[in-house]
Amino acid sequence: MKTVEQEIITLRKRAKSWLASLTYYSARGKINPGLYCDRLHSLLKPLFKSEILQEALSDAIPEAKDTQDPLNIKKSIISRLTPNKFYGRMLSYPRIPAGKTQVKEQPHSVTPGILIVTWAVFTNQPLQDFIERIFPKISRLYIEWLDSTHRGVPGKANQDNDKKSARFWSGICRTMIQATPEENLTNFMQTKIKALGTVIGMPDMEKEMYTLLGQASHFMTKDKARKIKSALNANPNARKSMNIPELKALVQREEARLGWSNTTAKAAIKTIESSLSPEVKEAIEDNEEVIGSSIEEISRRGLFNNLLDALNGQLRPRFVESITRFLKSIVHVKSNWEFDTSDSAQENFNSIRRWLFRR
């Protein structure tokens, strides 16, 4: 049986494949958001079983008890709340209203005030005293955020504003942690994690989590599709770089492996065959093992990494190298050298590559 850590590692690999597939089909203009929402939901669902979450929580509790220096706990938490990590892990940020405009709060919305009060209550700190201690720092963070996003910077990109919002929320969280006594912090970690484990084990809670997970999957898919579309519009050459048979074959192979499509391994092989020169097809003599072995070899890097290679123009040369190597070991044919001899190994390699994949 897989441990929680192993389950998370598997999830990360499959999530990267999900993102790579989403990016590839977005570049081709053939994206079905509902389909990718269902795929993401199916990936996340196994990790949200009650027993898995409770095991993960129980593993986290001893870390607080066994640590002899509570100050290290605080430093460790603060080190994980940097602006870059906030920006990388959060999909969107609450918009803080400027000026005196009254904005009606949405149900269950989180504001800095609610977050501060909640933290003070959870960590058993006198609310008035806690607010007085952190107010100067929070006020300064707000003014800095306001100056950077609303004054003298019309037309700034949303991404830039989101980074500034990440810096603001990072500052708030780091300020609250820093102002919390070490004893209150470790006690919070021990008691509240236990309480969370009890809540997770309640009847029907798993069903409720799955419902919320479906909503989260929809939101994440929509958000990623929007960001990918924006990136492709800003980098039109990326569409051309990804629209190659080699990447298509790897996408087909990965989707079949994960059970996302009925595409067979043979379809991926046929896709690669379509890009080979007539001479290479003749040399292979319908021996699909050469192409199949190349696909399996290159797919070991993972679909996401292969997507990056396609964008960098490195995927096709890697296929050429792999097919050439398998041809040498499997197919023995007598052939004439058709290329000009050069002292440069790179020039010779480029000549062979053009011959292998010429149309």
Q: What CA–CA distance (Å, rounded) separates 16 from 290?
A: 27
Q: How many distinct structural domains can be found in the chain?
A: 3
- CA dist 210 and 213 (Å) reads 5
pLDDT tens digits for 135-174?
999 999 989 888 887 544 444 445 677 788 889 999 999 9
Structure tokens at 260: 């996302």
Distance separating alpha carbons of residues 70 and 34, to the nearest angstrom:
46
CA distance 75 to 147: 29
Domain end among 118, 152, 186: 186
Same domain, 62 and 89: no
Residue 191 domain-assigned (yes or no)? no
In a domain, 99, yes or no: yes
Confidence class of residue 76 from pLDDT cuts 50, 70 and 90?
confident
What dihedral angle (degrees, nearest 10) is formed by the CA atoms of 185, 130, 88, 50? Answer: 50
What are the DSSP calls for 306-334, one per residue?
HHHHHHTT-HHHHHHHHHHHHHHHH----
Phi, psi of 258 (to 5 degrees): -85, 0
Residues 165 and 253 in one domain: no
pTM of the model as a whole: 0.68
Cβ proximity of 91 and 40 under 8 Å: no
Do 350 and 325 lie in a common domain? yes
In terms of residue numbers, what domain contains 256?
A: 244-356
Q: Are 290 and 284 in contact (CB under 8 A)?
A: yes
Q: pLDDT tens, 305-341?
A: 999 999 999 998 898 888 888 877 765 544 444 545 5
User: Taking the CA atoms of the chain, what radius of gyration do you get in angstroms?
Assistant: 27
232 and 265 housed in the same domain: no
Question: What's the mean pLDDT in 224-246?
Answer: 91
Place of tokens 């980098």: 235
